[in-house]
Chains A and B, each alone.
Chain A
Amino acid sequence: MKLLEALNTVKSMHSRGGPTLPCALVTGFTPLHLKTFLTAELVRRIPGRSIEIAEGLYGDLAGNMRRLPEAKFEFAVVVVEWCDLDPRLGIRSGARWSKDELSDIVATAKQHAAQFLHAVGNAAPLPLSVCMPTLPLLPLAHTPGWQKSAFEVDLHGVIQSLASSLAGLPHVRLLSAQQLDLQSPPSERFDLQADLRTGFPYLIPYASTLANLLASLALRSTPKKGLITDLDGTFWNGILGEDGVGGISWDLEHHSQIHAFYQRFLGSLAGAGVLLAVASKNDPALVEEAFARADLAVAPSAFFPVEAHWNAKSESIARILEAWNIAADAVVFVDDSPLELAEVEAAHPGIECVQFPSGDDLAIYGLIARLRDRFGKNTVTEEDGLRLASIRRTRTRDVAAESATDTNFLDQTEAEVSFTFEREPLDPRVLELVNKTNQFNLNGARHTEASWRALLSNPGAFLMVSSYRDKFGPLGRIAVLAGTLCGTRLSVSTWVMSCRAFSRHIEHRCLAELLARFRPEEVRFSYQQTERNGPLRDFLSRLLGSPPAPECNASRSLLDAFLETVLHTPEMIDE
């Protein structure tokens, strides 16, 4: 982004207005154009908000960090440079420059790093996105530039140790130095003239690149949930129907190792809870045989469903989406054929169709790096490990249910619903459910960590998290309700439930538990219709006897009568 474009983006935000998003940019240098670029990048990502970035005092990074908790920010972006560890590492310093000074600089850097780490710890739970020093070190050491000095090694050691400590803090995200190096070579970062004139050390293009990555780090886009892959020319090299099971390859010997890399990547996605499926025009028996090959770089069990037949791929995608019970826009479809991609894209608007650049190893590597970004997540939860197994069990359960009535079947599932009401510590899975659930969602409201904490700190606030297991296995934490209790009125402002938990009457049990625990005379639902929350709307319609209005109320007697007609008595456990 050019600076002129960034200024105009900020200008348009000011003229448009919108709810304020207060955040901080913590630096020891003058943030100047970095602040402009960061504001513009945030505006692009959250067009409805009015971004307000606070900055601190020049030359006082640790002090600026210490003062962070005094204001109410939704998040902070922190950029550390060498001169924050010791001003003598900056061009604007007038301090003497001798061999004896160097060991003192390292000692000071250690001390300042420790103070910074302490301040970062105290800023919790404010989400922090931190960038470690990115500028080249000044030529302070006695060695020639091509030789790494002990001084340089020691300073990098201080930074490495600091970064290692920061990476272990749950409220901190570190900017990837590797990604920054790929996008902006170190030799194209330092603006000597600007640093001398104004105290802003970055060249304009570098400030733009850095702001772009920092904005992505601070405001992660919602990761995709599922990947559907083609087989021939994508998952492996060759055409299964023509080359046979022994003729397809993904190894060095056949110059097709890049396909093994793709398979390994898919395996890593599966391990992080991403759903994987196959859509291939192939003989199903042959596919089964190929998947039995011992040298596959990913376990065949990671894929469900496997759609292998000669019908249109859009049909396969439809069945896969139904089995996963997720929307097309949460899914990426990878295929080497532009024709197949176009056919799927036309039938499933919203799905992200990506061409696998078969035969171009470098392009495939680039594609995998981009896919990693689309599926990247901050943490892998227990539920991520359960997801695929749970979907398989649901399919088994659905088949079993076809031969029994709904009521009878639920009675036979040995369902256990459990509830917790603890608000601390903040559970990443709870926030993930709130921010990723679309269908059974009271109003579609999304939350940052800061806004979620603020909601839970309201007077009379409650949080109820529901977990479920039955004889087919656990689903983990699958429902979240939050709101406030004021007198005898319970106001529910957040209610989400994973689509994997549908058709088990868990929503009824959640309501029953709320009534039993808080004994309200009335429950108010902060309902808002969204494009996708039809299941929640249908549920409230059944409860109220008519389509819900925003801020709809249900009396205790109405709720009791409604629950009485539906609920059985599964084992309920208060944790």
Chain B
Amino acid sequence: MNKIQARLTNCFLAVFPELTIDQVVSASSTNVRNWDSVAGVTLLAVVEEEFGILLDNSSVSGLNSFQDFLNYLTRTTSTDLYAAAGGY
């Protein structure tokens, strides 16, 4: 498990305490019963705070599972690192 995945897992476990670490990887709004609108908003806020990012409306609509978040964060974080290294 890489660093991003570990931090994201902590976010999911805090918002969905009923999940085990193994279940988190496959968690999505369709298979987690408590993933309602309030939990969804809380998850977004926790992820924003944990990774120091601000999710815009268009990104938010596509984040419906752990894998969606992970893909988004991996993409965003590598872009940021590239930018920080003077890539743009």
Q: Report the minimum CB–CB distance from A200 to chain B (whole Å).
A: 8
Residues from chain A with a CB closer than 8 A to the CB of B38 are 32
Q: Report the minimum CB–CB distance from B36 to chain A (whole Å).
A: 12
When the two chains form their complex, are residues A197 and B41 in contact, meaning their CB atoms are under 8 A apart?
Answer: yes
15 new A-B contacts, CB < 8 A, other than A197-B41, A197-B57, are A2-B49, A3-B45, A3-B46, A4-B10, A4-B14, A7-B14, A7-B15, A8-B14, A11-B17, A32-B41, A32-B42, A36-B42, A194-B41, A198-B37, A200-B41
Kindly state the separation between the CA atoms of A131 and B57 in the bound complex, as whole angstroms. 31
B1-31: CB near A (< 8 Å → 1, else 0) gives 0000000001100110100000000000000
Nearest 8 CB-CB pairs, A to B?
A7-B14, A11-B17, A198-B41, A3-B46, A3-B49, A4-B46, A4-B14, A8-B14
Kindly state the separation between the CA atoms of A33 and B57 in the bound complex, as whole angstroms. 19
Any A CB within 8 A of the CB of B50: yes
Residue in B37, B41, B49, B57 whose beta carbon sits within 8 Å of that of A4 in the complex: B49
Kindly state the separation between the CA atoms of A3 and B46 in the bound complex, as whole angstroms. 6
Q: Could you list 10 examples of A-B contacts with CB < 8 Å?
A: A3-B49, A4-B14, A7-B14, A7-B46, A194-B45, A197-B57, A198-B37, A200-B41, A204-B48, A204-B49
When the two chains form their complex, are residues A11 and B45 in contact, meaning their CB atoms are under 8 A apart?
Answer: no
Closest to A8 in B: B14
Q: Which residues of chain B from 24 to 73 have any CB-CB distance to chain A below 8 Å in the complex?
A: 37-38, 41-42, 45-46, 48-50, 57
Kindly state the separation between the CA atoms of A33 and B42 in the bound complex, as whole angstroms. 7
Give the most central of A32, A198, A204: most B CB within 10 Å. Answer: A198
Any B CB within 8 A of the CB of A542: no
Interface of B is mostly: helix
Kindly state the separation between the CA atoms of A33 and B11 in the bound complex, as whole angstroms. 14
Query: What bracket does the count of chain A residues touching chain B fall in?
Result: 10 to 19
Kindly state the separation between the CA atoms of A433 and B17 in the bound complex, as whole angstroms. 42
Q: Which residues of B contact A (CB under 8 A)?
A: 10-11, 14-15, 17, 37-38, 41-42, 45-46, 48-50, 57
When the two chains form their complex, are residues A4 and B50 in contact, meaning their CB atoms are under 8 A apart?
Answer: yes
Any B CB within 8 A of the CB of A14: yes
Kindly state the separation between the CA atoms of A240 and B14 in the bound complex, as whole angstroms. 59
When the two chains form their complex, are residues B42 and A4 in contact, meaning their CB atoms are under 8 A apart?
Answer: no
Residues from chain A with a CB closer than 8 A to the CB of B45 are 3, 33, 194, 204
Closest to A199 in B: B41
When the two chains form their complex, are residues A14 and B17 in contact, meaning their CB atoms are under 8 A apart?
Answer: yes
Kindly state the separation between the CA atoms of A2 and B51 in the bound complex, as whole angstroms. 12
Residues from chain A with a CB closer than 8 A to the CB of B41 are 32, 194, 197-198, 200
Kindly state the separation between the CA atoms of A36 and B42 in the bound complex, as whole angstroms. 10
Residues from chain B with a CB closer than 8 A to the CB of A3 are 42, 45-46, 49
When the two chains form their complex, are residues A7 and B42 in contact, meaning their CB atoms are under 8 A apart?
Answer: yes
Residues from chain A with a CB closer than 8 A to the CB of B50 are 2, 4
Kindly state the separation between the CA atoms of A4 and B44 in the bound complex, as whole angstroms. 11
Residues from chain B with a CB closer than 8 A to the CB of A198 are 37, 41
Residues from chain A with a CB closer than 8 A to the CB of B42 are 3, 7, 32-33, 36
Residues from chain B with a CB closer than 8 A to the CB of A32 are 38, 41-42
Kindly state the separation between the CA atoms of A198 and B49 in the bound complex, as whole angstroms. 17
Kindly state the separation between the CA atoms of A268 and B78 in the bound complex, as whole angstroms. 59
Q: Which residues of chain A from 8 to 34 have any CB-CB distance to chain B below 8 Å in the complex?
A: 8, 11, 14, 32-33
Q: Report the minimum CB–CB distance from B2 to chain A (whole Å).
A: 18
Kindly state the separation between the CA atoms of A192 and B48 in the bound complex, as whole angstroms. 15
